[in-house]
Amino acid sequence: MKNQKRKFLVPVAVAVAAALSMGAGAVSAKSNNAGVKSAGAKCTVKLNAGLDATEGTNAGWLAQRIACGDKAPLKASGDPITIGFQNPEGPVINFPEYRVAAEAAVSYINEQLGGIGADVAKGTPGRPLKLEVCKYNALVPAELPGCANTLAAKNPLLVFASLAFGDAHFPIYQARKIPIIVGTPIFPKDFTSPATFAIGGGGGCLGVHLGLITYATQYLLKDTLKKPTGGKVGVPWAKSAPGIFCYNDLEAKPLDVLAGKTLSGAKIKSTAKLKGTMPKLSYVGVPVITGKADVSAEVAQILNFKPDVMIYSNQGSECWTWMNEMLKQGWTPKSFPVVLSGACIDLVTMGKLGNSIKGIYTIGGLSILDPDALTGFQKTAAVTYRDKMAKYSSDQKLNGTGFATQGFAGVMNIWMMMNLAGGAKATGVDVQKQFKKTNGHVAFGATGMNCAKAIKPYIAVCATEVSASQWTGTKLKAVKGAQDFSGLVVVGKGDELRLEEVK
């Protein structure tokens, strides 16, 4: 695969010390009409509009505000602007790290960045952001729509849906004309709903699962293992409502596309350029019931297949239940490469396993868990995440997980778009329009935001680029030549969705 490197060429230290103008997207303090009592410290950090050319549109704006938040913290004042936040937190399907990080980002925005509509040059604060949280048990069907009705009754500017195990919330918000911003898309409507924007780095199942297939086949099978016409891929997959879709449409389908046929030998229709380029490719899909403590039979099925490479995506605890059973049954890093999704990242657990899993890969959006692995503005974003989570997080043990970074980055990007859309005067529709036109736009915790370039049928997904990292035994290290690639190469524009198993 062609090396697609980020062009992080301008250090932020230089970026925040150039040009005097506030530049495009600056928000007037007049937009704060909620009774600000007094101005705070004025920020003298200058905006570098030239940063936009290397880091994305409005990168200078975002870099300046992060620098101002550290050098001249500005506390928000006045009546809060409410956004809804729905998150699955139950006995089995449980993502508290998404909420903890989102709450930390709101605290950072309100305590240091001036809230919504601040004028940092004048030291005039904007209005605070309020996160109206609703948790639901994804295994109880009535709780997701109940959560949506509860949040809708609060009349939020918009709703940030972290990752939803169902789609019952869509008609509720749409009926009230409340915009939906998706953090991690995993359900068909997350990908295909008009006026919905899935902003999480890596594009949820779309970017990450296609990225798993692309890395396993085009990087490992083709380049590393020297099997350009294909090999054997083991695919354990999460047997949940979204897992069924993500496996069938974004793992089994692209594997069939590469082979040019389904497992039964039937020809497959696709406009993908790589269609049929790996005719010897074969795979086995093994469903894994969410929350199952004993996966010994499923692991044995994968090991008996004798794969050349294995991929797996699930929530963090499920990944390590699986990997511990793999180790128990004799797998070692020399057996075959393992490629996990970024959702599996749990630095504490991985640190305990150490060299026993040395060499495994992870695929996901830009990881801001390791500042030393990054350069330029994104290194600044990673340092910001590390420092602000340490300061504002209510549960420090969750900070080193992949979904925590998604929660923090999602709120930061919503805050940015609210400011660029008009600050405290912006409506939900204004924010929607701001997202919709993004094309090469900077994103906190991601390599860019490109809602305007989304392809059919995945019209809602704004960031599909992913990157590979490899576990050294003590930390994750970026894989050279496998940064910022898109797995869209293994599907075709306009290909039909696959909602169920195809033999």
Same domain, 140 and 274: no
Over the stretch 89-118, which tens digit does the pLDDT of each residue have? 999 899 999 999 999 999 999 999 999 999
* pLDDT higher than threshold 50 for residue 16: no
User: Average of pLDDT values for 48-63?
Assistant: 95
The pLDDT tens digits for 435-476 are: 999 999 999 988 899 999 998 899 999 989 899 999 999 999
Note whether 170 and 214 are same-domain residues: no
CATH of the domain at 312: 3.40.50.2300
**Any domain includes 273:** yes
In contact, 232 and 497? CB cutoff 8 Å: no
Are 24 and 127 found together in one domain?
Answer: yes
d(CA 387, CA 456): 39
For residue 53, the model assigns a pLDDT of 95
- Collapsing DSSP states into helix, strand and coil, what is residue 246? helix
At residue 38, the pLDDT reads 59
* Other beta carbons within 10 Å of 136: 24
* Distance, CA of 280 to CA of 426 (rounded, Å): 54
Q: Indicate if 156 and 263 belong to the same structural domain.
A: no
Q: Is 118 exposed, middle or buried (0-12, 13-18, 19+ CB in 10 A)?
A: buried
Q: Does 236 lie in the same domain as 138?
A: no
Residues 315 and 168 in one domain: no
Both tokens of 483, joined, read 């940064």
Q: Give the pLDDT of residue 13.
A: 37
- Asked if residue 17 belongs to a domain, the reply is yes
Residue 123, C-beta contacts closer than 8 angstroms, at least 6 positions apart: 39, 40, 41, 42, 43, 72, 74
Q: What is the mean pLDDT of residues 40-54?
A: 92
- In terms of domains, do 409 and 474 share one? no
More confident residue, 307 or 2: 307
Whole-angstrom distance, CA of residue 157 vs CA of residue 221 = 47
Read off the pLDDT of residues 356-388 as tens digits, 9 standing for 90 and up: 999 999 998 877 888 887 888 989 999 999 999
Residues 336 and 484 in one domain: yes
Give the three-class secondary structure for 467.
strand
- Give the per-residue pLDDT at 163: 92
Query: What tens digit of pLDDT does each residue of 116-150 get?
Result: 999 999 999 999 999 999 999 999 999 999 999 99
Residue 451 lies in a domain: no
222 with 235: CB under 8 angstroms?
Answer: no
Whether the predicted pLDDT of 298 surpasses 90? yes
Question: Are 434 and 478 members of one domain?
Answer: no
Looking at residue 114, what is its pLDDT? 98
Residue 417 and residue 352 in one domain:
no
With respect to residue 376, please indicate whether it lies within any of the assigned structural domains. Answer: no
Tokens of 355: 């060299």
Number of domains in the chain: 2
Both tokens assigned to 395: 């549960």
Instruction: Provide, rounded to the nearest whole percent, the portion of the chain with pLDDT above 70.
Output: 92
Domain that holds residue 106: 12-178+398-444
Look at residue 183 and tell me if it is in a domain: no
Same domain, 209 and 352: yes
pLDDT of residue 419: 98
Element (H, E) at 488: none
The predicted pLDDT at position 421 comes to 98
302 located within any domain:
yes
Rounded to an integer, what distance in angstroms lies between the CA atom of residue 269 and that of residue 283? 19
Residue 162 pLDDT: 97
The predicted-structure confidence for 195-239, as pLDDT tens digits, reads as follows 899 999 888 889 999 999 999 999 999 999 999 999 999 999 999
Q: How confident is the prediction for the chain on average, in pLDDT?
A: 90
Nearest Cα residue to 81 out of 153, 166, 154:
154
Distance CA 33, CA 245 (A): 46
**What is the rounded distance in angstroms from the CA atom of residue 239 to the CA atom of residue 170?**
23
Judgement on whether residues 257 and 128 belong to the same structural domain of the protein:
no
Separation CA 345–CA 395 (nearest Å): 17
How high is the pLDDT of residue 238?
Answer: 94
- Residue 123 resides in a domain: yes
pLDDT at 4 over 80: no
pLDDT per position as a tens digit, 74-94 = 999 999 999 999 999 999 899
Domain-located, residue 245: yes
